[in-house]
Chain A
Amino acid sequence: MFLHQLQLYNFRNYREQMVLFDQPKTIVVGANAQGKSNLLEAIQLLAVLQSFRVQRDRDLVQWGQRQGEIHGKCQRRYSTVDLCLRLFPHQRRTMLVNGVVVKTKDEFLGNLNAVLFSALDLELVRGSPEYRRDWLDRVLVQLEPLYIRLQQSYQRVLQQRNALLKGIKQGKMRYDPAQMELWNQQLVTIGSKVMFRRRRLIDRLSPLAQAWHRRISATETLTLSYLTRFPCGDDINAIQTAFYDHLQKRAIAEQQQGSSLVGPHRDDVQLQINSQPAKEYASQGQQRTLVLALKLAELELLQTVSGEPPLLLLDDVLAELDLSRQQALLSAVQPTAQTIITTTHLHNFADRWLHSAQILTVKDGEIQLNC
């Protein structure tokens, strides 16, 4: 797929900007704080409806403005899609596909696929489990847009159940076993579906990541596994049974703490290199290689499933990679696949990246075409 036009209005530090992409590779050059990451953030929002940096739309709309907009035109193999996202500081977003307002996120998702790689992704190795869960969820909503509904329902059940546990703990609500049981059942039914899909994703990503990792590191073996709070089998019924049993075991602890302690919101992805947990043992270089392997696996899987290469968005990371890692990346990206790269300087790039790339300069929220 190819994003050939992007328009931004009152988005971050862009007032009104039209960008035309006319080459498979685009390099966006600019000093710090000029708007490089903001540009990639806008594209990622069209792909996953979520920013890699902030949660609130208030931060995305230009300060002092009442409405912001991201508008992209994307060429798919058999069709074109026009995606528009209107953002408001204190109001729900509006989503349009081909000029028509869509009510649910799953109708918007899946039209544009993108893999973003930024310095923040090192948190995939070092950071809290939340980073890894968010990563899985971002890939899943692109692969299986309906997953967003599961995720939203789960979130809702969790909030309600937490409110109930908290209310009971504070003595504001009565402990009603019948009601608790129903929230338990919903938590388990929906939560198991979330876990099942996340685990299936890990099973698909794992061999791909392992192969890429092997190619870059030559000798090391990477393994990915989905970690649940309780052991359980692979199929949905086995997950449900184990989840339900574990919930019963933790019931007292949950009431003491006043919140939900079991479920996909507490799961993690374990990353191991040669059977050692990467978080504790990997060197800086090993961590970079690992993250790169994860991103390449993500790229490859999205490409296999959708039948078209997703956009690759590299935020300030390419120049940081040594030439052999840049080479690995190059070999993963089809020559015609769209890649948008941001950087502060044009040196440190392998020649093949620069070759026939479109070069854009960004300064203070404005983009110019370099000739």
Chain B
Amino acid sequence: MYTPPLARLIEQLQRLPGIGPKSAQRLALYLLSRPREEVTALAHAILDCKEQVGHCQVCGYLSVDPICEICRNPDRDDSTICVVCDSRDVIALEKTREYWGKYHVLGGVISPMQGIGPDQLNIPTLVQRVVKGGVKEVILAINPTVEGETTTFYVGKLLKEFTKVTRIAFGIPIGGDLEYADEMTLIKAIEGRQELQ
């Protein structure tokens, strides 16, 4: 149905998350209709990204430089580290512009089924950062799945003797209605209740 190079492109696009056969076809035909420069720019952007972007040596977040911008930023609070599962979580938290501490990206959660144990995660550098001193609080912000909970407790236990460790609360979204919150969220919200200041 498609001429071979087009078929290859559609097939590649289809492998992307959230892209089905129909969207892949639409994207491919769109790209084909664009001027050469535009398509080249896109192709180069993809390649450059892959070749240049690595992980920050300190926190593990995506970065071109050995040490990322967040870690280098002198205005950010060195004494708070927020621990997350992957770089996507950093992006989400950064978008809020409310958090001014530093991060640490674990690169996954403990999952024996996928052969991921603490040794496969970016944990030793986190311990080093905390042991070095100056960290007043580590905030664990990991999804409360079965694997996430194990990871949260594992990391928490390692760090507890060196600093204060907290975890983010899970609960009702702001503007949400208690009546419509699902029951599991309600249970988590009640477990994570706080005293009214």
Residues of A within 8 A of B182 (CB): 104, 106-107
Q: How far is the CB of B138 from chain A (nearest CB, A)?
A: 17
B146 touches A160 (CB 8 A): yes
Considering only residues 91-150 of chain A, those with a C-beta below 8 Å from chain B are: 104, 106-107, 146, 149
A6 within 8 Å of B (CB atoms)? no
Residues of A within 8 A of B111 (CB): 160
Q: Which of B71-79, B94-102, B115-123 faces chain A?
A: B115-123
Assuming the contacts A106-B183, A146-B184, asked whether A163 and B117 have C-beta atoms less than 8 A apart, the reply is no
Q: How far is the CB of A177 from chain B (nearest CB, A)?
A: 11
Chain B's interface size range is: 20 to 34
A164 within 8 Å of B (CB atoms)? yes
Instruction: Report Cα–Cα, A167/B111, bound state, in Å.
Output: 12
Q: Which of B8-16, B28-36, B147-155, B161-169 faces chain A?
A: B147-155
A178 touches B157 (CB 8 A): yes
B176 within 8 Å of A (CB atoms)? no
Residues of B within 8 A of A174 (CB): 117, 119
B92 within 8 Å of A (CB atoms)? no
Residues 144-178 of A, flagged 1 when their CB comes within 8 A of B and 0 if not, give 00100100010011011101100100001110101
Q: Contacting B112 at CB < 8 Å: which of A146, A164, A178?
A: A164
Assuming the contacts A160-B111, A163-B112, asked whether A186 and B117 have C-beta atoms less than 8 A apart, the reply is no
B85 within 8 Å of A (CB atoms)? no
Residues of A within 8 A of B118 (CB): 176, 178-179
Q: How many residues of A contact B (CB 8 A)?
A: 24
Residues of A within 8 A of B183 (CB): 106, 146
B146 touches A186 (CB 8 A): yes
Instruction: Report Cα–Cα, A163/B113, bound state, in Å.
Output: 5
Query: A189 — nearest CB in chain B belongs to which residue?
Result: B149
Q: Contacting A157 at CB < 8 Å: which of B117, B146, B154, B157?
A: B146
Instruction: Report Cα–Cα, A159/B111, bound state, in Å.
Output: 10
A182 within 8 Å of B (CB atoms)? yes
Query: B114 — nearest CB in chain A belongs to which residue?
Result: A163
Residues of A within 8 A of B184 (CB): 104, 106, 146, 149
Query: B156 — nearest CB in chain A belongs to which residue?
Result: A182
Query: B154 — nearest CB in chain A belongs to which residue?
Result: A182
Residues of B within 8 A of A185 (CB): 153
Q: How far is the CB of A323 from chain B (nearest CB, A)?
A: 46
Taking chain A's interface residues, is the majority helix, strand, or loop, or is none over half, making it mixed? helix
Query: A185 — nearest CB in chain B belongs to which residue?
Result: B153
Residues of A within 8 A of B82 (CB): none
Instruction: Report Cα–Cα, A243/B149, bound state, in Å.
Output: 20
A349 within 8 Å of B (CB atoms)? no
Residues of B within 8 A of A179 (CB): 110, 117-118, 150, 154
Instruction: Report Cα–Cα, A153/B145, bound state, in Å.
Output: 8
B147 touches A160 (CB 8 A): yes
Instruction: Report Cα–Cα, A107/B115, bound state, in Å.
Output: 33
Assuming the contacts A173-B117, A174-B117, asked whether A167 and B146 have C-beta atoms less than 8 A apart, the reply is no
Residues of B within 8 A of A173 (CB): 112, 115, 117
Most chain A CB within 10 A, of B112, B150, B183, is at B112
Residues of B within 8 A of A186 (CB): 146, 149-150
Residues of A within 8 A of B115 (CB): 167, 172-173
Q: How far is the CB of A202 from chain B (nearest CB, A)?
A: 24
Residues of A within 8 A of B112 (CB): 160-161, 163-164, 167, 173
A226 within 8 Å of B (CB atoms)? no
A21 within 8 Å of B (CB atoms)? no
A183 within 8 Å of B (CB atoms)? yes
Considering only residues 131-179 of chain B, those with a C-beta below 8 Å from chain A are: 145-147, 149-150, 153-154, 157-158
Instruction: Report Cα–Cα, A174/B145, bound state, in Å.
Output: 23
A182 touches B153 (CB 8 A): yes
Residues of A within 8 A of B146 (CB): 153, 156-157, 160, 186
Binding site for B on A (CB under 8 A): 104, 106-107, 146, 149, 153, 156-157, 159-161, 163-164, 167, 172-174, 176, 178-179, 182-183, 185-186
> Would you mind naming 13 contact pairs between A and B with Cβ atoms under 8 Å apart?
A104-B182, A106-B183, A107-B182, A160-B111, A160-B146, A164-B112, A167-B112, A173-B115, A173-B117, A176-B118, A179-B117, A182-B153, A183-B150
> Told that A146-B183, A159-B113, A164-B112 touch, could you supply 17 new A-B pairs with CB distance under 8 A?
A104-B182, A106-B182, A106-B184, A107-B182, A156-B147, A160-B112, A160-B146, A163-B113, A173-B115, A173-B117, A176-B117, A178-B154, A178-B158, A179-B118, A182-B154, A183-B150, A186-B146
**What 10 pairs between A and B have smallest CB-CB spacing?**
A164-B112, A163-B112, A163-B113, A156-B146, A182-B150, A182-B153, A157-B146, A160-B112, A146-B183, A153-B146
